[in-house]
Structure 1
Amino acid sequence: MFFDPVYFLFVLPPMLLGIWASSRVKSTFQQYAQVPVSSRMTGAEAAAAVCRAGGANVTVERVGGFLSDHYDPRTKTLRLSPEVYDGRSISSIAVGAHEAGHAIQDVERYPWLGFRSAMVPVTSFGSRFWIIPLIAGGIFQMQPLIVAGIVLFAATVVFQLVTLPVEFDASNRAKAVLTQAGIARTDAERHGVSKVLGAAALTYVAGALSSVATLAYLVFRYMGGSNND
């Protein structure tokens, strides 16, 4: 399918959006990583403060990698990249607080987070192996295998769509608590936090659109093949 010009008609627009979004989140993070916060809090301290404010009892630890920040609901651990964990910038408190927002979601049993967590095993399997039945079905002209491949890929699409409200809600929680707790004290700091989190949100939107476009292409090709039969 990757040599099919029609495929690129489906996926090229979201692919370009994804490249632009990835570039923007890095440039925005780096821009506001140079802007210190008046509270002088590190990203780790801000994350811990947001967790406490939301009633989440978690461990905050440093993890390697650039923007590798994430919350692990299984171990109740919030892992922050070095730039976020140690940084005392707008970018650091924004990302740290966002990940803390996921911890608060977990405590409050936010339904979309629970649904996404429940989908992880299926999505992990589907994202790795959906192409195998699709190719085998195409080679041996076995439509059930093709359908199985499409269904497995569809599971990853649902996962990415569910991720959107989870990420948006975490950002909204982060911005609210940063303001209420006096961590982001000025309008300029709050604006910077919104810019950093808004840029990050675009990457999730672009990823979801790319997956939806690929699924639409697969269904389009399958329906075309079925009609020809």
Structure 2
Amino acid sequence: MYYPFGFYFDPTIILLIPAILFATYAQTKVKTTFNKYLRVGSRTGYTGAQVARMILDRNDLHDVRIEHISGKLTDHYDPRTKVLRLSSPVYNGTSLASQGVAAHEVGHAIQHANGYFPLVVRNSIAPVASFSARFVWILIIAGLFMPYIRIFGFGLLELGIVLYLAVVLFQVITLPVEFNASSRALAQLEGYVVSRDEIPAVKKVLDAAALTYVAATLVAVAQLMRLLVISGRRD
């Protein structure tokens, strides 16, 4: 639908609005919850790095190194190098939030060691998803402006949508990986590092973090639906 002064309104953007609103809520939720429990010290007084090392050693993962990384909520496990990277608030922190996030990342290391199938699948498609994420929008935008270009019988827009499927698949398979890592974290913490009455606080931190992955998946799926509608409308 065209408006005066050259403005153009694409009605398919409506498909994205609910997912974007939920993503905004999820980001706010994880930040506020993490900051709240970052101020709640654990009874044991262990730092996130100490907790991570204890759980790793407890699971015979002595070859996994722990490194400090800059930023906040940048914590992650790198399966390629078997390195667990923890941000300053987690690495040095003694709060329930610090211990929970550290244990969650160790959960990924345990998944890797045990050959957890969803993680194997995610790691397998990660290079394709990363490649697709870099080039998908170039193809889609080019396809919108140059619909006459065909490659192997497909338009650039259609090729872009095929690439975007890898991104969506990566987001979808990430959900069970993250939920399982949190479950492993709680099991490793309860009665060993964190007392039973402290577990609900840790669970709130991990649940809030999980919302961000749910939001990312919803945005990806909504965007795919939008692209399919646009492609069908052009046909």
* TM-score normalised by length of structure 2: 0.91
CA-atom RMSD in angstroms: 1.2
State the Cα distance separating 1:47 from its structure 2 match: 1.2
Counterpart Cα distance in 2 of 1:54 and 1:157? 33
Aligned match for 2:97, one of 83, 88, 91: 91
Counterpart Cα distance in 1 of 2:156 and 2:17? 27
Q: Which runs of 5+ in 2 are unaligned?
A: 1-7, 149-153
Name the SS of the counterpart of 2:16 in structure 1. helix
CA deviations on 1:54-113 (whole Å, 9 max, x unpaired) are 332310111000110000001100000000000000000000000000000000011111
1:69 alignment counterpart: 75
- Kept in 2, the 8 Å contact 1:123–1:155? The answer is yes
- Kept in 2, the 8 Å contact 1:14–1:209? The answer is yes
Name the SS of the counterpart of 2:155 in structure 1. helix
Identity level (%): 43
Task: Pick the structure with more helix per residue.
Answer: 1
* TM-score normalised by length of structure 1: 0.93
Counterpart Cα distance in 1 of 2:175 and 2:203? 16
1:214 alignment counterpart: 223
Q: Which runs of 5+ in 1 are unaligned?
A: none
Answer with 1 or 2: which has the greater Rg.
2
2:130 counterpart of 1:124: yes
Counterpart Cα distance in 1 of 2:121 and 2:48? 28
Name the SS of the counterpart of 1:224 in structure 2. helix
2:111 counterpart of 1:105: yes
State the Cα distance separating 1:53 from its structure 2 match: 2.5
2:3 alignment counterpart: none
1:30 alignment counterpart: 35
CA deviations on 1:172-200 (whole Å, 9 max, x unpaired) are 000001014x201131x100110000000
Counterpart Cα distance in 2 of 1:36 and 1:43? 11
- Kept in 2, the 8 Å contact 1:97–1:174? The answer is yes
State the Cα distance separating 1:225 from its structure 2 match: 1.6
- Kept in 2, the 8 Å contact 1:55–1:104? The answer is no
State the Cα distance separating 1:146 from its structure 2 match: 1.3
- Kept in 2, the 8 Å contact 1:42–1:85? The answer is yes
State the Cα distance separating 1:5 from its structure 2 match: 3.8
Report how many residues are paired.
222
Aligned match for 2:183, one of 151, 169, 172: 172
Distance 1:176-1:4 versus aligned 2 partners, 3 A rule: farther
Counterpart Cα distance in 1 of 2:57 and 2:140? 47
Counterpart Cα distance in 2 of 1:4 and 1:60? 49
2:163 counterpart of 1:157: no
